[in-house]
Structure 1
Amino acid sequence: MNLVSPVIVGIIYCLLMSLIKEPHRRRFNAIMVGGAGAAYLSGGGFGPWELPFVALTAYVAYRGLDSWAFIGIGWLLHTAWDMAHHLKGNPILPFHHDASLACAICDPVIALWCFRGGPSLVALVRRRFRPGRTADHAYDHVSAPS
């Protein structure tokens, strides 16, 4: 399995989410992590234990409506669940043996972005490459005196 592709998918996810303005970006991501928590329900690899995991991620997603940190925690919980399913041989996509492993590589990328507060990567790239930018940009965030 290509280990770089899931990282790229995680970065693309963060870039696409960056197109959503705050506070909607955080709320939408809380919904996404809640949905990710239910992704294994139809496969049922861990039988009735799938249900407490869904309940836990639903709670974490609910808390994520107001907290990027909880969304990051939710993605890390999903990473652990991905690894458990991968090791058990019950992947998220039954037709792709390494799907859960790929998901377990992608999710921490998203979690790191969430722990940073889900910043707009599009805005960061625009600021980085704006015309007239000087090499010394340590004080870009400081406003000029009026």
Structure 2
Amino acid sequence: MSFVTTYVTPILIGLLYALLNSLIREPHRRRFNAVMVGGAGAAYLSGGGLGGWEFAFTILVTYCAFRGLESWRFIGIAWLLHTLWDVVHHVNGHPIIPFADLSSLGCAICDPVIALWCLVGGPSLIDLARNRFSRRPARTSDVSAT
């Protein structure tokens, strides 16, 4: 695997996730993300290799996802918890995608990007870009003729 595939692509996937979510208006964007992280919390259940800890983790993320229905902070926390779980699985050799050895590492790189976006309130990246790059009328100074 190349550096780009292993490290850069997961960051781009996280940014793409936030960008695509920007198409969803609030409060639906927050609620959609709460559901998404709840699903991500159960991703390792069918073969994560950590036994009962998989259930304990799923319960913890489900609680954060439920609280995330009303709070971007809890969604961000859930994504950070998922990042830690990805690292544990990567180190223990139980990747999220069984036939892709570095899939948990990729997830551990992608998830903090999503978490950061959530922790700042899940803003619309489209609106931010539109506001940043919109043409603003040139300022005219009020100079009094003397």
Are 1:14 and 2:18 an aligned pair? yes
Q: 2:35 — aligned with what?
A: 31
Shift in Å, 1:131: 2.3
Are 1:119 and 2:126 an aligned pair? no
CA contact (8 A) 2:89 2:104 kept: yes
Please state whether the residue corresponding to 1:3 is helix, strand or coil: helix
Provide the TM-score with structure 2 as the length reference: 0.89
Alignment: residue pair count: 135
Unaligned runs of 5+ in 1: 136-146
**1:40-83 deviations in whole A, cap 9, x for unaligned?**
00113101111011111110000000000000000000000000
RMSD: 1.3
Provide the TM-score with structure 1 as the length reference: 0.89
Are 1:41 and 2:58 an aligned pair? no
Are 1:91 and 2:95 an aligned pair? yes
Shift in Å, 1:134: 5.9
CA contact (8 A) 2:15 2:113 kept: yes
Tell me which stretches of 4 or more aligned residues in structure 1 moved more than 4 Å: none
Please state whether the residue corresponding to 1:45 is helix, strand or coil: coil
Question: Please, which of 64, 67, 75 is the counterpart of residue 63 of structure 1?
Answer: 67
Q: Distance in 2 between matches of 1:43 and 1:76?
A: 21
Q: Distance in 2 between matches of 1:21 and 1:117?
A: 13
Question: Please, which of 47, 54, 60 is the counterpart of residue 50 of structure 1?
Answer: 54
The AA in structure 1 aligned to 2:34 is A
Unaligned runs of 5+ in 2: 140-146
Q: Distance in 1 between matches of 2:18 and 2:40?
A: 15
Pick the structure with greater CA Rg.
2
Shift in Å, 1:127: 1.1
Between the aligned residues of both structures, percent identity stands at: 64
The AA in structure 1 aligned to 2:73 is A
